[in-house]
């Protein structure tokens, strides 16, 4: 039989091992909490302050200042785009749906049309809401679009119309911009970023303090 002293020794040894494991686990948790979060997109550090913009959407006028206090996912495109723009909005929609209701309320997706000749504010608004009713679509005059694209570093060009159909394509920067709660640029994603990775980054931004 095991003596009482041996049993006590084993008990204290077990307790010491468990305490050590708990301590290591706690230290590891503290370490992880103090580490900078990992992102799939391209982090902008330090964040880049961006000028405010005011553009029409549907029947109302929207200011970028209206989104302060929220995380913003911002993209540019045009409604006649056959591939990149629908893919961008589809990915954003899938990412949005992967967030819970509380996180969704902290995020605003904004899409700005650079096709000032064809896309009215109403057309832009209706286009994005086909993907998600919470998304906001904006448009504007050439002067307004030149201003906001210049301020946000977005290239665009309306190409020569087809002589038979009148259709023209639009070249533009295909990137999603992540803005923090003050409207500063903190991250960028390619338009075809996988929705689960986009959702993970958005969730990290939403909960970042």
- pLDDT one-digit tens code per residue, 153-200: 999 999 999 999 999 999 999 999 999 999 999 999 999 999 999 999
Query: Both 203 and 145 in a single domain?
Result: yes
**Which parts of 54-201 are beta strand (E)?**
54-57, 60-63, 71-77, 107-113, 136-138, 156-158, 170-172, 175-179, 185-190
Mean local confidence (pLDDT), 19-37: 50
- pLDDT one-digit tens code per residue, 81-102: 999 999 999 999 999 999 999 9
Query: Both 181 and 126 in a single domain?
Result: yes
Query: Running DSSP on this structure, what letter comes out for residue 66?
Result: G
37 Cβ neighbours under 8 A, 6+ residues apart: 204, 208
Query: Both 26 and 78 in a single domain?
Result: no
Output phi, psi for 131, to 5 deg.
-90, -40
Query: Both 119 and 27 in a single domain?
Result: no
pLDDT-derived band at 6 (thresholds 50, 70, 90) equals very low
Query: Both 14 and 86 in a single domain?
Result: no
Q: If you search the block for the tokens 């954003």, which residue do you land on?
A: 92
What CATH number is associated with residue 198?
3.40.30.10
159 Cβ neighbours under 8 A, 6+ residues apart: 168, 169, 170, 171
- Number of structural domains (the chain) is 2
The two structure tokens encoding residue 110: 């904004």
Query: Both 64 and 152 in a single domain?
Result: yes
Structural domain span for residue 18: 1-35
Query: Running DSSP on this structure, what letter comes out for residue 38?
Result: P
Query: Both 69 and 5 in a single domain?
Result: no
Query: Both 16 and 97 in a single domain?
Result: no
User: What count of other Cβ atoms lies within 10 Å of the Cβ of residue 162?
Assistant: 10
Query: How far does Cα 1 stand from its chain's mean position?
Result: 66
Query: Both 96 and 188 in a single domain?
Result: yes
d(CA 44, CA 21): 38
- pLDDT one-digit tens code per residue, 35-94: 567 899 999 999 999 999 999 998 899 999 999 999 999 999 999 999 999 999 999 999
For residue 33, the model assigns a pLDDT of 46
Query: Both 144 and 191 in a single domain?
Result: yes
H/E stretch holding 93 reads helix 84-97
H/E stretch holding 28 reads helix 4-34
Query: Both 171 and 99 in a single domain?
Result: yes
Query: Both 17 and 111 in a single domain?
Result: no
- pLDDT one-digit tens code per residue, 109-145: 999 999 999 999 999 999 999 999 999 999 999 999 9
For residue 59, the model assigns a pLDDT of 83
d(CA 203, CA 117): 36
């Amino acid at each position: 039989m095991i003596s009482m002293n041996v049993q006590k020794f084993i008990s204290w040894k077990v307790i010491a091992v468990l305490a050590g494991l708990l301590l290591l686990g706690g230290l590891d948790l503290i370490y992880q909490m103090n580490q900078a979060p990992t992102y799939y997109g391209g982090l902008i550090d330090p964040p880049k302050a961006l000028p405010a913009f005011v553009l029409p959407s549907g029947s109302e006028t929207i200011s970028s200042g209206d989104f302060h206090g929220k995380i913003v996912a911002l993209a540019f495109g045009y409604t006649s785009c056959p591939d990149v723009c629908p893919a961008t909005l589809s990915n954003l929609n899938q990412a949005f749906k992967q967030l819970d209701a509380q996180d969704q309320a902290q995020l605003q997706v904004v899409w700005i049309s650079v096709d000032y000749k064809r896309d009215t504010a109403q057309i832009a608004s209706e286009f994005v809401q086909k993907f998600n009713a919470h998304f906001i679509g904006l448009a504007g005059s050439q002067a307004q679009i030149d201003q906001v694209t210049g301020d946000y570093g977005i290239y665009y060009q309306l190409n020569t119309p087809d002589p038979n159909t009148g259709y023209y394509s639009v070249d533009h920067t295909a990137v999603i911009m992540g803005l923090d709660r003050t409207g500063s640029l903190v991250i960028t994603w390619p338009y075809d970023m996988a929705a689960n990775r986009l959702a993970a980054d958005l969730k990290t931004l939403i909960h970042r303090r």
